[in-house]
Amino acid sequence: MADKVDHVVEALDRNSKAKLWEKLELGLVPDEEIKVIMRSVVEKRHQWINKLSCQQQQAQILELVQYESVTLDDAEIAMLDLYCERAQISDGHKVLDLGCGYGAVALHIARKHPHCHVTAITDIASQKQFIEEQCREQNLANVEIILADITTYEMDKEFDRVMVISVIEHLKNYELFLRKTSKWMKADGLLFVEHWCHRSLAYEFKASSN
Ligand SMILES: C[S@@+](CC[C@H](N)C(=O)[O-])C[C@H]1O[C@@H](n2cnc3c(N)ncnc32)[C@H](O)[C@@H]1O
């Protein structure tokens, strides 16, 4: 069966790939089929890593993930714009970015919407330092970075939008997290969550070091 699906995936034109992604988003592709497709994709990535140049690998990844983008940078900006669109962010909103990483989302919102104020929280000092350097370089005065553990941090502020992107995987106590998050939201605020998920299993992040 794996061989068959390999050929099917290989032979898909852009239109069919777009339809496949649409079906995936709607949860209409059976798990067994997803497993085979993923195996085929991962195998191919291993082949590219061994054989192709960095540019060729990037082109192949783009082919898979963002068929309208020309470069990985374009694809990333398209994805960040999509987050903003789906979170319905408007210029002037107070935005909280929980678990902000190296600030891709916070910096993008601050650049795109100069009247937004973005508060970003991370528990890693080098991430805070990096984002602050970026703010200085890019003359962004509308970003504040807080170094704290979300699970114990308290603040008396409310936000129009709360962004939680690839962070839920790091947490175990969802109830506590959602209770805290709801206190930081205005009555008409919206929570945007991007979460790796599976119908029956949790995608759990395990740190192998600090
Ligand atoms: C996978 S990264 C996602 C980063 C960012 N949201 C993005 O999409 O680029 C997870 C982030 O959550 C942060 N994080 C995880 N647990 C946290 C906690 N308890 N308190 C604060 N930050 C936390 C990590 O430090 C990291 O910045």
Cβ of residue 83 lying under 6 Å from some atom of ligand 1: no
Q: Give the pLDDT score at 203.
A: 64
Asked if 147 and 125 touch (Cβ cutoff 8 Å), the reply is yes
Q: Give the pLDDT score at 42.
A: 72
Which structure tokens are listed for 16?
Answer: 């069919």
How far is 53 from 103, CA to CA, in rounded Å? 28
Q: Which residue has the higher pLDDT, 31 or 48?
A: 31
What are 143-192's pLDDT values in tens digits? 999 999 999 999 999 999 999 999 988 888 889 999 999 999 999 999 99
Length of the chain: 210
Amino acid type, 162: V
Asked if 155 and 181 touch (Cβ cutoff 8 Å), the reply is no
Q: Give the pLDDT score at 2.
A: 44
Cβ of residue 79 lying under 6 Å from some atom of ligand 1: no
CA distances to 81, 109, 146, 163, 198 from 118, rounded to whole Å, are: 16, 8, 11, 10, 30
What are 14-37's pLDDT values in tens digits? 777 778 878 888 888 888 888 787
Cβ of residue 129 lying under 6 Å from some atom of ligand 1: no
What are 87-133's pLDDT values in tens digits? 999 999 999 999 999 999 999 999 999 999 999 999 999 999 999 99
Cβ of residue 122 lying under 6 Å from some atom of ligand 1: yes
- Whether pLDDT at 4 is above 60: no
Q: Kindly report the three-state secondary structure assignment for every residue of the chain.
A: CHHHHHHHHHHCCHHHHHHHHHHHHCCCCCHHHHHHHHHHHHHHHHHHHHHCCHHHHHHHHHHHHCCCCCCHHHHHHHHHHHHHHHCCCCCCCEEEEECCCCCHHHHHHHHHCCCCEEEEEECCHHHHHHHHHHHHHCCCCCEEEEECCCCCCCCCCCEEEEEEECCHHHCCCHHHHHHHHHHCEEEEEEEEEECCCCCCCCCCCCCCCC
From the CA of 101, how far away is ligand 1's center (Å)? Answer: 5
Q: Give the pLDDT score at 1.
A: 43
Cβ of residue 9 lying under 6 Å from some atom of ligand 1: no
Domains of the chain: 2-67 (no CATH), 82-194 (3.40.50.150)
Q: How many CB atoms lie within 10 A of CB 99?
A: 21
Q: Give the pLDDT score at 81.
A: 93
From the CA of 150, how far away is ligand 1's center (Å)? Answer: 9
Which structure tokens are listed for 160?
Answer: 């129009």
